[in-house]
Structure 1
């Protein structure tokens, strides 16, 4: 789950950076976009590297078992294709950011990252939730919002650290307001997802899901409480940039824990449904 969350943050980072470059509102410094591009590449490639090494923590990458006698899935091909606009953009951001090719590649990177997030969410539903896809109807929206929120936190880290190195002033409140709104939307969507596991029609599984939800408190603190508090405290403290790094790291840990709990809950639900069908 940690590698999956890192991939979400990487694609979210690329999406927001591509949008900012396409609109011409990102930093005009030469090469300032290279840092978030590289950081996103590290996050996205962590799962690919683990799959190439055939580690047990990541046996497949977007449904593709690398090294086995299988062709890459469409989901994996799209994920690989997302590297192309990223590499092209990395070669152009050191020039004039108003160049039409830079804007075009920025839009391509944004749409490829978004498409990869949506297809991976549907692929997960197909592989793991084919019989109960209705329980996870909000999964694609949740993944996209998680990517925006996590990627936004890491982009904020890049911006504030680069600003402190160059001496440029950064207005923190627009970032804080935008990320707080993303946190609110993500909390609403994820809450609906957990609420679907508490429907009366689920019978005895309702109690199990409730027990899992009670353990989401720590994950919620790491995902929402710590980052939101840090966003408000960054302008107050002289070394506030370190709070932004702690907020982004806490979000990764908390989201990994929450995804593990949610995946465990859905797995138990699938087992209970299978047992009920066998009894019938």
Structure 2
């Protein structure tokens, strides 16, 4: 789950960066573009490297078992194609982001990242949640919001470490407000997803899922409470830069925990005698 969350953050980082560059609202410095591009590349490529090494934690990458006589899935091909606009944008970043080619390739990066997030959500549902497809209709929306929120926090880290925080840094507040609103939307959508597991007729699963809600509280604190508090404190505290880094890291850990709990609740629903996290505590 950690590698999946890192990939979401990477695609979300690329998507928001491409959108900001296409709209001309992002800093025009070359390093301001290359740093988030490189960070997103590290996040996105972590799962690919693990799959290439055939590590047990990542046996397949976007449905493709690398090294076995299998052709890449369409989902994997789209994920690989997303590297092309990323490399193109890295080559075009020269400090003048008003150049039409830079804006065009930024739009391409944004769209490829968005399509990759959506197709991976549908692929995940088909491969692992086929019997509960009706319960996970909100999954693509949740993944897009998660990627935007997580990627936005890491883009915020890149911005905050290159910004001048003296005088309150008024120009940073729009980014903070946008991330706060995104956190609210993500909490609402994810709450609906958990609520779908408590529909009448799910029997034992409904009772046990209610028990998982208490364990989700820690994940919610790491995903929303810690980053939102950091967003408010970063521009006004002298050492606020490190709060931003801690908030983005906390979001990754919290989202990994939440996805693991949610995945466990769905995939084990067919086995009422399965061991649930915390049943023996």
Deviations 1:57-106 (A, max 9, x none): 00000000000010000000000000000000000012521111101100
Q: TM-score, normalised by structure 2?
A: 0.93
Cross-structure match for 1:277: none
- Superposition deviation, residue 131 in structure 1: 1.6
Residues 72-151 of structure 1 mapped to structure 2, 5 A cutoff: 72-151=72-151
Aligned mates of 1:172, 1:271 — CA distance in 2? 49
RMSD of aligned C-alpha atoms? 1.6
Any conservation in 2 of the 1:224–1:251 contact (CA below 8 Å)? yes
Cross-structure match for 1:193: 193
Unaligned runs of 5+ in 1: 273-280
Aligned mates of 1:254, 1:22 — CA distance in 2? 31
- Superposition deviation, residue 172 in structure 1: 2.5
Residues 30-109 of structure 1 mapped to structure 2, 5 A cutoff: 30-109=30-109
Aligned mates of 2:31, 2:98 — CA distance in 1? 13
- Superposition deviation, residue 136 in structure 1: 0.7
Q: TM-score, normalised by structure 1?
A: 0.94
Aligned mates of 2:90, 2:6 — CA distance in 1? 20
Aligned mates of 2:29, 2:86 — CA distance in 1? 18
SS of 2:124's equivalent? helix
SS of 1:132's equivalent? helix
Any conservation in 1 of the 2:16–2:148 contact (CA below 8 Å)? yes
- Superposition deviation, residue 271 in structure 1: 3.2
Any conservation in 1 of the 2:156–2:175 contact (CA below 8 Å)? yes
Aligned mates of 2:127, 2:144 — CA distance in 1? 19
Cross-structure match for 2:183: 183
Deviations 1:178-211 (A, max 9, x none): 0000000000000000000001121221011111
- Superposition deviation, residue 164 in structure 1: 4.5
Any conservation in 2 of the 1:163–1:170 contact (CA below 8 Å)? no
Aligned mates of 2:170, 2:37 — CA distance in 1? 20
Aligned mates of 2:193, 2:270 — CA distance in 1? 16
Unaligned runs of 5+ in 2: 273-281
Cross-structure match for 2:171: 171
Any conservation in 1 of the 2:28–2:95 contact (CA below 8 Å)? no
SS of 2:85's equivalent? helix
Cross-structure match for 1:7: 7
Aligned mates of 2:266, 2:188 — CA distance in 1? 19
